[in-house]
Structure 1
């Protein structure tokens, strides 16, 4: 990899926080501090753009010519955000990539947050070197998913919204980490819900590996050993930095 292409900037926009850093693309690690600011209340486009500008200025890369990738909690097609999770409904159908490019005065790559986390784990983490189908899930407020087949990302999967037949609601309402917290479930009782979810996904896709991310993955020893699946299921490596690393990697492609 040429020296000029060894680094890129990643920005990870979430419902509560916006994080950014400069990434070494050879090793897949941050080479600056991770800068974080709170997501503005209401998460309107103009306010989110101002917050992203702030983190880039704090990193002293606002005028950098390094590739810039932005991860966002939405389905992203052709640079448009087609859904909105924990952000303003104004993002639905919004030309987000163009809006940010005009606001920042530079080219960017805009992508779904779970997808970029999947890219980070496939290139630099728990799924590196794994052939076949890898399913990454992030367990948090909802269940984000990324599908990688033989190293190729299949974008915008929404497997957290698998419906629960005869029970109402969807998978993330029932099995996300927020459901554990909401219902005061022990790890053992929550694992029964996760077992249902991962069984269902395994039946549909027959993956070769599950990777589990999200903040709760740092406690993976408390629930992953309770699951019984055909495919291995392992914790993510990059956790809260996965969005930054994956966004930077996609931007450099």
Structure 2
């Protein structure tokens, strides 16, 4: 069985139909630049465009880069602040004409990695971080998700951690892999003191280049591995959640 997953990010909205058994895409992924300004109606139109492109009538899973409670978006650090308090599930449902499940983007990526990727079979506390426009986080204890952790907004050197150590910051500040790995080390050591994970998984598109920075991370006791599904994890996890919500 396959269902459509759509991943909303600070720079792009992307989606694909997902084979739920394997996590493989059943068609080439479609990506649209995130509208500017990234207001709800504009982003909903992008979600509707991707949905129409692939067709079908089944439920759709959509991720959002912020806290999501019962389909309502409560924060929007990397999108327009007008998203705060929006019933995103209803908005996307109206735009697409389909049943829609909405969840935090890093939580979706974490669900996919725990079921089919680097966290599969892991015991204890697993922390998954998506390194992109910001830093998303997903926390699992014995396979159970604690949603909406938002560890990317922990204070680091007087700033939101993601403004110091996200993948976008590495590009914007033209940081060497070594300098960026140092910032990640400081961040991950701080997180480790708080939650003592037994495994750390680093995802996002930059995870395809894991060999360039993971070996440079120092002072962290927990094993650190790259995400197996890389930047596709959000789409895969969104589809999984949509499947779970089917009546």
The DSSP-based 3-state class of the residue aligned with 1:156 is: coil
Q: Choose from 11, 23, 45 the match for 2:6.
A: 11
2:131 is aligned to 139
Q: Please, what TM-score do these two structures have when normalized by structure 1?
A: 0.91
> Which one has the largest radius of gyration?
1
- Contact residue 11 and residue 133 of structure 2 kept, 8 A: no
Deviations 1:51-70 (A, max 9, x none): 21111111122xx12x3100
The answer to whether the 8 Å contact 1:15/1:85 transfers is: no
Report how far residue 157 of structure 1 moved. Answer: 0.7
2: CA distance, partners of 1:141 / 1:35: 19
The question of whether the paired residues in 2 share the 8 Å contact of 1:210 and 1:231 is answered with: yes
Question: In the superposition, relative to structure 1, how do residues 183 and 47 fare at CA in structure 2: closer, same or farther (>3 Å)?
Answer: closer
Q: Which residue of 186, 193, 197 maps to 1:196?
A: 186
Q: Write the distance in 1 (CA, Å) between the matches of 2:213 and 2:35.
A: 33
Shift of 1:99: 1.7
Q: Give the Cα–Cα distance (whole angstroms) in 2 for the partners of residues 247 and 212 of structure 1.
A: 18
Unaligned runs of 5+ in 1: 1-5
Question: Unpaired segments of 5 or more residues in structure 2?
Answer: none
The counterpart of 1:78, out of the listed 70, 80, 89, is: 70
Number of positions where the alignment pairs a residue of Structure 1 with one of Structure 2: 243
Q: Please give the alpha-carbon distance, in whole angstroms, between the structure 1 residues aligned to 2:188 and 2:78.
A: 24
Q: Which residue of 1 aligns with 2:118?
A: 126
Within-5 A mapping of 1:167-182: 167-182=157-172
Alpha carbons 2:48, 2:92 under 8 Å: kept: no
CA contact (8 A) 1:8 1:248 kept: yes
Give RMSD over aligned pairs.
Answer: 1.4
